[in-house]
Amino acid sequence: MFGSNKFSWWKLIVNIKINNFGENFLNRPAGREAFLMAKAYIFKNITSSEEIILDFDKIKVMTPSWLDEFITGIKSEFNNELRYINTENPSVSASLKTVLM
């Protein structure tokens, strides 16, 4: 399962396990493809009140170009709050820093 819905004490949370798309995230076209897959299967019934959590557990390599395509896709189509967890991997944290600046 790519994402799961959970209830917090006051809102629904959509948790997306990025490692379900692979371990190495290297280029912009792959990031766009991953976003389009998520849009079709994970986000198809999402409401604006749901928080989206991107979980980067077990990621080996992440590039800013892949992450930019994925996050920009989410932000351009949805107004949901985004949160990022398990970002300790140096390539994940550096990519997030670059993309979110």
Kindly give, in sequence order, each residue whose CB lies less than 8 Å from that of residue 12, ignoring residues fewer than 6 positions away: 5, 6, 47, 49, 50, 51
For the chain, give the percent of residues with pLDDT over 70: 89
Higher pLDDT pick, 68 / 9:
68
- Amino acid identity of 90? P
- How does residue 5 score in pLDDT terms, banded at 50, 70 and 90? low
At residue 99, does pLDDT exceed 90?
A: yes
- Tell me what pLDDT residue 45 has: 86
pLDDT tens, residue by residue, 39-84? 999 988 888 889 999 999 999 999 999 999 999 999 999 999 999 9
Q: Where are the domains of the chain?
A: 20-100
For the chain, give the percent of residues with pLDDT over 90: 76
Which pTM was predicted? 0.86
CA distance 55 to 59: 9
